[in-house]
Each structure stands twice: as C-alpha cells, then as structure tokens.
Amino acid sequence: MFQRLRFVPARLLQAVPVIFGVTLLVFFMAHLLPGDPAVAILGEHATAARVTELRKQLGLDQPIWTQYFLFLGRLLQGDLGTSLTYQQPVSGLVLGAIPVTLSLLFFAVVLCLVISIPLAGIAATAPGKGRDLGVRIYTLLGQGMPQFWVGIMLILLFAVNLRIFPVGGFGDTPLDHIYYLALPALTMAIAMSPTIIRSLRSSTINVLGSEYVATARSKGAGGMPLFRGHVLRNAAIPTVSILGVNLGYLVGGSLVIEKVFALPGLGSLMINAIFTRDFPTIQAVALFVALFVVIVGILTDVVYTLLDPRVDLSSKVAA
Amino acid sequence: MSAAALVLAGCSAGGTSSSTAAKGGDLVIARPADAVSMNNTTTFDNPSIFTFEQIMEPLFTVSDDGQKVKPWLATGYTVSDDKLTYTIKLRPGVKFSSGAPLTADDVKFSIDADTATADTGWGYINAAIDTVSVVDKETVAIKLKYAWAPLIADLSLFSNAIVPANYGGKTADEFYQAPVGTGPFTWGEWKKGQSLKLVKNPNYWQKGKPSLDSVTWNVVPDANTRKLQLQGGQIDIDDTPDWSSFASLKSSPGIVAHAFPSTQLDYVAFNQQRAPFDDVHIRRAIAYSIDRQALVKAVLFGNGTAANSLLSPGTPFYDKNAKGPTYDPAKAKSELAQSSKPSGFTTSLLIRSGDANQASVAQILQSELKKLGITMEIKQLDPTANKQARLKSDFDMTLSAWTMDIPDPDEWTTFAVDPDGGAKSAFTFYNNPEVIALNKQAQQEIDATKRQDLYDKLQELTGQDAFLAYTYYSPYAYATTDKIKGFTVTPLGNYHVEDITKSK
C-alpha cells in the first residue's frame, strides 16, 4: 500500500516553488494597497510629518525589493518578522490563531460528514421518493442561506433563547473550546453539506446500480453492512476530492464565521492585518494558508489513493 | 472589657452596612476592536487607551462633565507671576502596584519620556514645556517656553501618565509588555485578538476601590453578536451598539442603554486647494443645504443634535449661541448665486467603505446637493486608504470626525485652523490669518473669561468661513446589564473602572 504513496515526497518538493510564488504575489499585492501601517497606527490625529517619521522607524521607506529580500532572508531563518501593528513577533500571533481555525475546520468537517453521510444515504436509497425530495430541499436551503444569517439565527435560537450554547467567543480550556465551537462549526457544516450531500448522493446512486453491489446483494448482503462495506467506500471517492477542494477555500471563507462568532482565528487575523497594512502578518498568514492548501491537497490525494486501490498517482506515464 | 466589646461591636456594625454594597465580581466588556499596544506615549487607538488608563494614571484628570481638570495624582498647583513656572504638589501616600512610592523623580521621568516621542507619538502635546525639575520628593516644577493655557489639560492626557522612573530597570519595550502604574488595575493577561484581562490592584490609593476583582475586554467585531451576548448574559457591557438597535436595547428587560455626551464633532471637509471650494460662497451654499435634523434621525436614530460650531458641547469654551450654518435652502440658493458656479458643478465625496453611518450621510448629502444643481459622486476607500488620501489632501469633499483627548479646545483648534498646526488645517488648507491669530492668542491667554471671548470669536468666524460644514454631535453609545452600576463615560470617551460595581 505504501508503494502507492510514493508520490508524496515529490509533491512536497513541488510545493516549495508554489509557496514561494504565493509569498511574492502577496507581498507585492499588499504593498500596492494605498496607505501603510504608519497611517493606520497614527489614526485620526496623524500629520504628514509624523507619518513620514514613523515610516522611517518601521523600515518602510526602503525600496520595495530591499524590503522583500529582507523578508525572505528572515523567513529562511525561520523568523516571521515583527508585527508592525502590535510590535510583537508575528509567529506568536499566527501560532495563536492557527489552532482556532484548524479546530473550527476540523469540527466543521466532522459535523458536515455527520449530517451529510446519513442524508445522502437516505436520499440515494430512495431516489425520486419523498425523503429524497426532503433532502434535496435541505440542500437548496443550505446553499441559499447566507452563512452569517444562519450563524446569527443559530445564536438566537440556541444561545439566547435556549441558553444551551454561548454567544461567540472561544473559551479558555480545550473542553471549553469544543463547547464554544459548536455553533460556528454547525454553521459551517450547514453551508458545506449541500455540495457534499449532492455529490455523495449521486455517486451512491451510481454505486448502488453497479454490478458488484448487485453481486453482493445476491450473496445476501443488505442494509447497513452493505452500505458500509461496499457502497460508502466507493461512493466516497469523488466526494473526497470535493471535500478537499472545499477545505482549501474554507480557511479563507471561515472569516465571516470568525467575525460573527468572535473567534480569534486566521481569518480575523488576516483581515485586521490587511486593514492596518500589517505587512509581516499579512505575509505570514498567506504563507500558512498556502501551506495548508498544499497539504490538504496532498492529503486528499493520499486518502483517495487509500480508498481506491485502482488509483496509483505515482505511476509514471510511459513516454 | 465591655468598652472594648462595644467598640468592636461598633466596628462590625459599620462593617455590615458597607458590605451590603456590591463588592467583587469580574467585569466583561465586549468591544469591536482589540487594543494594539500599552505604550501610552505612542499609541493612538481608543481600545488601547481605555485599557492602559486603568493601569497608569496622570497628575490631573478630566471632570465627569468634561469641562474642568481636577487633581488626581497631583493635589494642586501654583503658577508663577510670569506665568511660566507651574509648581505641582503630588498626592502623598500613593504607591505603584509594585509597592514602590510615587515620587517626583517618577513624574519627571514620565513627562520627559512622553516629550521625547514628539516626532511620532503624543510628545508634541508637551511642546510648550522647557524643563521638568524635581523640587523635592513630592513637588515638581514645570518651566514653560511661553505662556501656555492648556498646560494642566495637557498633563491630564494619558500620554503624560506616571510610570516608574527608568521603567523600573526595564527597557521601554519590556516595560510595556506588562506595564506597572498607580492605577486601580494591574496587568493580567492578553490573548491578542481575543481578550485582555486586568486584575485588581489591592494597593490602590483610593481606599475601597476598585470594587471589581478584574476587568476583561473581549474582542467581538460584530455588533449583532455583542448585542446577543449582552442579552444572553455573557457580557456585562456592550461597547458601541448600533444606533439602529439602540431603542430596542433600551426597552429590553435587564438592559440599560446609555448615550453619554461626547466631544465628537462630525463634519464635511472641503479641500480649498481644489476649485471651487476656495470660494466661501460655495462652501456656505453646501453648509446651508444640509438638513442636520434629518441626518440625526436617519443615521443616529434620533440620538444626537445638530452641530452649530467648530467646538462640541462637551468641550470647554463651547459657545452654544454660535451661529454656524443651519438648514436653510433659501440661503443656500442665494449663496450659490453669488458664487463662481451659480448653475452648479460636479464633485466627489470621499468616505470610508464599510462605514454604514458615513454611507447614509453621503447618500442624504448627495440628494440634498442635487437640488442645488451640484452633482456629487460618492467615492469609497477602505479605512487606511481613506486616511492616506486625506493625509495627502487627495479629495474634493470628505466626511470626518474629531473627538477631544484633553479638556481643552486647543488640541482641535490648532489642528483645524492653523496650516502650521501639523495637518494643514485638517487637510483643508484653510488659511484665515485673523482666525490663526485668534487661536494663537487663545493658547496663551490664562484668564478664563478672556479666553472664552477669544474662542467665541473664533467659533463665529469659522462658522462664517464654513471651511468645514458641521453635521452633528453624537453621543457615545453603551449598553450594560442592570447589575452594573457606577459606569459613566466622560465626554473624552474614557471611563473609570474603579467606580464600577457589579451586583450578583
């Protein structure tokens, strides 16, 4: 089995120029924005003279290529730089935000699968019938409702009226975190599930009509054992790809959820850094997001390979 | 024996009656943005300021009505006959939270440290100070370069708050990671982007205060979420609820909504470097066509008043009878007729994107100016790009606002009317020599009555010149649960957490 995973190291190496390209792009895009940290720091009482002086102090008056190579040099030594807004090491800010976003995403994916797999199964085993229609109406609603609205509705219902969950925030202990992440994760799960359900539903219908399932049925398999043993694993293959692609977007898309639920994650960190033109933080977050997307891509292919023995991504096409 | 018992009984009786007042508790405030730095000499954002003000205290502080300065770490001062030397007496018995006593050395160090940041920080506020000297352990003398009426108000600014001399042996950077002061709270913990917690200073010089055990500011960017957190009992104070939900908060059970009088002035600025805004008739025409009451109703949902002057009601020397332009469409038309563009023209208004209040004002202004024949395009830029454009005076018209940091008009009037005040007259290039002279005179006039006359004239002239079109004065919005008592915000925007009590 591990033979088929031979592609992983090569993919990791390929990731390096990609990530390098991302840092270059983000650096220059951020610096193209009008305004800079000096303007943001000095606020309403800024005067042109003070801005110029602060720019000098922050090292922003150097030519842009110089600034880029200084940044790259520090990065290669593992130094993410100092936040111009907070005057603190960027690594501290980013490492504080990463667990928040990752645990939110993990929780959201788990909830999404908990919602999607049964619903897809219910729909796929009775296509065209009442329960299939019900599931498809759910997917329509899930895709149509904006995330921040769903989030606020969930807060109103579960936090304010029923007082089961708190309204926003992240909590202090790991157990607290799970409690505080329940509603935001659920909001994201509801937003993600329509795509997953649709994909899983149609591939399940395909699989259910396949010859090997007919064979299994003729051997007496049925219901849950059939679903788990033969159907789900095969039906999941295209869905895994879709989930992987979605996860990549989610890291940035979690921003809306983070704002509504006051979660101090990467999305909030990034958007605040952009508003205050905190270049080192913008670059560091972009770097981590690029890294995350690349790793998720590789992991998706690994899962894909493990699920489907016919797939061998390391095989070289004969010249 | 019985006499001693009686005395003890008397003591405990006194004890019981005071323990019925709320004591203890952890205060939780939710606000839209995080603090940025605890360095009181170089930091300009309100979240940071309102936080470190609870740790480090100045010699004087603003009264609750914003009109006066009252003694705080100082007990009083005397002024020499030539008005150039102020001798300030310190309050005896005040200690830093570390246990070290407050001395004149700490005061000299702190004020000098602030002055040293003049290039990029608040130090410019001490520009009139020549030297600060230690007279004795509890007395400081400040010698001025020239007569300077705002001095005591300047000393009440948080940038002149007193820190231990030489930062207690640390570097400035190290010190401000966990600052030490004489204030009611000491450094707790800061999870950036999430929450900042301060804990009670048991050695605070105001006996019996603070009542609270700790205060925590949570970062909750969305106004709806803050409101729901307040209604759900998760927080005690909601910092800046939307005006649109203010009325519903007011009528929510268990919630108290406050609109504290502020020193905030909102205005439209005209760039006099761009035609036709160098023409006073154009500026007046626009100023007369603004229906301020409609703005207050639409944007502030009735929580505010029309602005009539360069100064706001919470600022000392505000003239409530100042005749700034009011809503007068007839006068607007007649001013336009006398101007260089009687049939109207096309121009643009620069606003901040993502700011709902500014967007509303802009749209109302746009329709009002259309009636005059002026086509006004609305340009939106993100907050930092917007600031950058204003710094470079890269706008035709723009919306902006000012809140005072000290209980003295000078900080604002110099910024606004003096092209050499650092900001090219609030980036408008307004240049009226008579007004500039008045402002300079008022800075040096110590006599309060004479100073009032000078500022009255200044308010009258700036109203006539209409270099800014004042829109409204808006209060500070806060909502608290009804368990919170003693929470009040000064017109400068700051509050004293040591006065807040939280009942169970």
Distance of CA B442 to the CA centre of its chain: 21
Cβ pair B191:A96 closer than 8 A: yes
Nearest-angstrom CA–CA distance, B317 and B417: 16
Tokens of B414: 């110099």
CB B439 within 8 A of CB B310: no
Q: What angle do CA B95, B101, B107 make, to 5 degrees?
A: 95
Task: Give residue B5's pLDDT band: very low, low, confident or very high (50, 70, 90).
Answer: very low
Task: Give residue A227's pLDDT band: very low, low, confident or very high (50, 70, 90).
Answer: confident
According to DSSP, the residues that pair with A231 across neighbouring strands are: none
Nearest-angstrom CA–CA distance, A28 and A31: 5
Q: What angle do CA A163, A164, A170 make, to 5 degrees?
A: 100
Which chain B residues are Cβ-neighbours of A45 within 8 angstroms? 44, 405, 415
| Cβ atoms < 10 Å from Cβ of A260 | 27
Residues B361-395 have pLDDT tens digits of 999 999 999 999 999 999 999 999 999 999 999 99
CB B90 within 8 A of CB B139: yes
CB B256 within 8 A of CB B381: no
Cβ pair B388:A86 closer than 8 A: no
The CA distance from A226 to the nearest CA of chain B, in Å, is: 46
Burial A203-231 (b: 16+ CB within 10 A, else e): bbbebbeeeebeebeeeebeeeebbeebb
| Cβ atoms < 10 Å from Cβ of B117 | 20
Crossing angle of the two packed helices B329-337 and B280-288, in degrees rounded to 10: 160
Query: Which of B95, B53, B55, B89 lies closest to B74 in space, CA to CA?
Result: B89
Mean pLDDT of A173-188: 91
Cβ pair A39:B218 closer than 8 A: no
Q: What angle do CA A66, A70, A71 make, to 5 degrees?
A: 115
Nearest-angstrom CA–CA distance, B424 and B427: 5
Cβ pair B224:A264 closer than 8 A: no
- Give yes or no for residue B64 having a pLDDT over 50: yes
Nearest-angstrom CA–CA distance, A38 and B94: 37
Residues B275-328 have pLDDT tens digits of 899 999 999 999 999 999 999 999 999 999 999 999 999 999 999 999 999 999
Which residues, at least 6 apart from B103, have a Cβ–Cβ distance to it below 8 Å? B90, B137, B138, B165
Tokens of A64: 């842009």
Residues 254-273 of A with CB under 8 A from B: 259-262, 264, 268-269, 272
Which amino acid, B130?
D
The predicted model scores a pTM of: 0.88
- C-alpha distances out from residue B264 to B235, B305, B360, B492, Å: 26, 11, 18, 8
Q: What is the ipTM score, two decimals? A: 0.84
Q: Render B333-375 in DSSP notation, one character per residue.
A: HHHHHTSS-TT--EEEEEEETT-HHHHHHHHHHHHHHHTTT-E
- At residue B79, the pLDDT reads 95
Q: Mutating which of A29, A32, A50 best tests the B interface, going by the most B Cβ atoms within 10 A?
A: A50
CB B259 within 8 A of CB B475: yes
> Strands, E, within chain A: which ranges?
none
Nearest chain B residue to A48, by CA = B391
Q: Is there a cis peptide before residue B164, judged by omega within 30 degrees of 0?
A: no
Determine phi and psi for B392, rounding to 5 degrees: -90, 10
- Give yes or no for residue B246 having a pLDDT over 50: yes
Cβ pair B384:A277 closer than 8 A: yes
Which chain B residues are Cβ-neighbours of A49 within 8 angstroms? 119, 422
Nearest chain B residue to A42, by CA = B44
CB B263 within 8 A of CB B492: yes
Which amino acid, B77?
Y
- A107 and B CB contact within 8 Å: no
- A5 and B CB contact within 8 Å: no
Q: Is B79 exposed, middle or buried (0-12, 13-18, 19+ CB in 10 A)?
A: middle
Determine phi and psi for B406, rounding to 5 degrees: -130, 155
Which chain B residues are Cβ-neighbours of A262 within 8 angstroms? 30, 218-222, 225
Nearest-angstrom CA–CA distance, A8 and A14: 10
Mean pLDDT of A218-224: 80
Q: Which residue among B221, B388, B405 sits closest to A39, beta carbon to beta carbon?
A: B388
